[in-house]
Structure 1
Amino acid sequence: MPKITMPASLPAVGAALIILAAVGARADETVPAPAPAAAKQTATLTFYVAGVECPACVYAVNDAIRRLDGVAEVEEGQANEHFSNVTFDTRTITAHQVAQAVREAYSLHGSPYLARLRIRVTDYAKDGNATRVARLFEKWKEVVRIESADAAKGELVIQFLPLEPGAETTAEPAATRSGPRGWRHEELLSSLTRPAPEGLGLRVEFVAETY
């Protein structure tokens, strides 16, 4: 009977097949997908700015806002507009920090620029709602003030007090420190719109402008 000689390379071929089988088994395993990046939570608010007298003032104000981490867009006009539409990441900064950046902007005419928000509360003048809203703002009296622009229409103006540095000691401007600080407009929305007893159960909107 003739003797069959096995190729010398057969053991290597067998080893290669074993490796391929192992790789195939691993490929069949479920590989966990990478966790998706947290979605940005953006808001767009119209800030009404007092103290703006010229186009250079507009530039100074909007440039200060754009320097904030978390600001996605600042919509501005071509002339001396007295408001700025700001889109920002609410997980990174607050409306208070935007207002503080306006306050800390280089003033061209001596007085600091002051940013305000305007809201419109449905049925503000009915059923004692004005008193309830005033009581709500009492808990924020150290950071914001509220005044009535048109009580019949429920239009109110929110004024920001200076954003204090707190206990930390730093020369960095208060508006640009990392992380959200100060008064949050989201908390106002929640407190006004949630049904009683958690909130006031009122409809509210932030007044917005377009160019």
Structure 2
Amino acid sequence: MIGVLVADDEPLIVAGIRTVLESAGDIEVVAEAADGGAVLEEVMRCRPDVALVDISMPVLDGLSAVEELRRRAPEVRTVVLTAFGAEPNVLRALHGGAAGFVLKNCTPEELIRAVRAAHGGEAFLSPAVTRVILGVVAPDALPRRREALARLEALTAREADVVRLVAEGLSNADIGRRLHMSETTIKTYVSRVLAKLACENRVQAALLVRDAGRGWAGV
């Protein structure tokens, strides 16, 4: 059973999320929090597998909570929840250690997949969020691009194919179908790619591809 903490300052939203997640059969909401400070307290108290955190909360905002959770409880996977796909702080959340980013208008199936992916050590981005992230130009774009290109050049052609599809938000199963390879093989490739790129998760790998831009032969 996957234990989840749900953090949002709107009780109706929390109740709806609980209903959706617990309908999956393998997910249990073990704690709730209405502000960022409570998120930290509840995580330390019950140690959930996944923390689903709204980006806009009182006391301590969701972004700061994600960053603090990375320091205090790195084993807890964090998925950010927001109503705004174009939220300017999305990159901060992902660089801060979030394993995924989901819009509040996502389908119940997407929300369940996001939690399962985070628990399984993968990452999940709503398709709309992926497009936003990959389209953002960071203020320090040139230095980041040079660093990204240097790191990506270490990949083989097949590894480049895999990370490009990871950056599109595809799951291991979807990548396997696209490349005509087994899901197990793709999982091995993804692990190898993350190690080579020194990325903690798929989201960071996607950001690296974004930073490289079209100057990289893999895109």
After TM superposition, the score normalised by the length of structure 1 is: 0.28
Q: Which has the higher contact order (CA 8 A, sep 6+)?
A: 1
Q: Which has the higher helix share?
A: 2
After TM superposition, the score normalised by the length of structure 2 is: 0.27
